[in-house]
Amino acid sequence: NISSWWNFGSLLGICLILQILTGLFLAMHYTSDTMTAFSSVTHICRDVNYGWLIRYLHANGASMFFICLFL
């Protein structure tokens, strides 16, 4: 008796967990100072192992979260 609305709730949970995990990882490497914020993002993308993947998972995960929320 599982409907498609139940599946969207599960997808919301997966997206939320993904956002929390990738956000924590990104926060460990991010510097919020105005002079070094952009360089810390480039450091994440270039120097951290799979940092580019974590960053794009975090960015696209936010979009997926709202897509599942509004459907």
Number of domains observed in the structure of the chain: 1
Spatial CB neighbours of 30, under 8 Å, sequence gap ≥ 6: 37, 40, 41, 44
In terms of residue numbers, what domain contains 52?
A: 4-70
Angle between helices 51-70 and 4-29 (to 10 degrees): 150
Identify whether the C-beta of residue 41 lies closer than 8 Å to the C-beta of residue 47.
no
Q: Tell me the per-residue pLDDT of 38-69, one tens digit each, with 9 for 90 and over.
A: 999 999 999 999 999 999 999 999 999 999 88
pLDDT confidence band for 9 (50 / 70 / 90): confident
Identify whether the C-beta of residue 55 lies closer than 8 Å to the C-beta of residue 42.
no
pLDDT confidence band for 1 (50 / 70 / 90): low
